[in-house]
């Protein structure tokens, strides 16, 4: 009995990837929503109130990170991304609304920032954004996709069992897959920002 209950990292990883594959429809839905709103943010004129809100948001981030050392900047990025991903999963139980809002908002902001970047430095500037998202975006998409799936527990016959099952599987993926991806992403992003 003790052998069966012993923690096995390889088996836990296998369970994590299996759950990601089982949840692929939800993850792909989040990806589609994200990029649709990124296109909207890039192609369509932005209302003045939203323009000012996003600029203020960006200004606040720049102020918070202005005097940080490289290691502090990396930790700041990792901390923010981990918190956002965790909340995307955890609050997904409310019908999956919270992950959808995060996907829409982040997609739109990415589109807006990409447009501003193209206007100021040309299309080639978009290539500089790519390294920032190689590890971060998959981690965010997985988190939000699992959060979206979490919200479907209400449609299960045994809601308590469904809630517990989705929560345990989502948290396993979060700790074993998402956090490592976000740590790598934070190191890359923090280093690129710092040297520039």
Residue 17 counted as domain residue: no
Q: What is the pLDDT of residue 1?
A: 43
Residue 112 CA to residue 106 CA, distance in Å, equals 10
Residue 173 belongs to domain spanning:
24-195
109 neighbors 54 (Cβ within 8 angstroms): yes
Residue 57 CA to residue 55 CA, distance in Å, equals 5
Query: Could you list the pLDDT tens digit for every one of the 196 residues in the chain?
Result: 445 567 788 999 999 999 999 999 999 999 999 999 999 999 987 788 888 888 888 888 888 888 888 899 999 999 999 999 999 999 998 888 999 999 999 999 999 888 888 888 777 777 777 777 889 999 999 999 999 999 999 888 898 999 999 999 999 999 999 999 999 999 998 888 777 6
181 neighbors 136 (Cβ within 8 angstroms): yes
Residue 36 counted as domain residue: yes
Total structural domains within the chain: 1
Q: What is the pLDDT of residue 5?
A: 60
Closest CA to 103 of 176, 35, 11: 35
Q: What is the pLDDT of residue 122?
A: 75
The number of CA neighbours under 13 Å toward the Cβ of 108 is: 15
Residue 132 CA to residue 189 CA, distance in Å, equals 5
Residue 168 CA to residue 189 CA, distance in Å, equals 30
CA dist 156 → 69, 150, 153 (Å): 48, 11, 5
What is the dihedral angle through the alpha carbons of 146, 148, 24, 180, rounded to the nearest 10 degrees?
Answer: -30
Closest CA to 43 of 110, 136, 142: 110
Which residue has tokens 């790598």? Answer: 184
Three-state SS across 74-105? HHHHHHHHHHHHHHHHHHHHCCCHHHHHHHHH
Q: What is the pLDDT of residue 96?
A: 84
pTM of the model: 0.89
């Amino acid at each position: 009995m003790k052998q069966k209950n012993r923690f096995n990292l390889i088996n836990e990883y296998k369970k994590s990837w299996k759950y990601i594959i089982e949840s692929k429809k939800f993850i792909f839905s989040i990806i589609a929503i994200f990029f649709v709103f990124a296109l909207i943010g890039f192609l369509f004129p932005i209302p003045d109130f939203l323009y000012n809100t996003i600029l203020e948001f960006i200004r606040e981030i720049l102020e918070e990170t202005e005097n940080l050392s490289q290691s502090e900047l990396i930790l700041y990025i990792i901390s923010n991304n981990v918190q956002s991903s965790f909340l995307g999963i955890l609050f997904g139980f409310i019908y999956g609304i919270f992950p959808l809002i995060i996907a829409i908002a982040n997609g739109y902001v990415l589109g807006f920032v990409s447009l501003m970047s193209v206007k100021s430095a040309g299309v080639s500037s978009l290539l500089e954004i790519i390294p920032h998202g190689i590890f971060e975006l998959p981690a965010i998409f997985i988190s939000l996709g699992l959060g979206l799936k979490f919200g479907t527990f209400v449609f299960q016959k045994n809601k308590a069992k469904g809630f517990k099952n989705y929560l345990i599987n989502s948290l396993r993926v979060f700790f074993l897959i998402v956090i490592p991806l976000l740590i790598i992403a934070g190191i890359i992003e923090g280093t690129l920002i710092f040297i520039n």
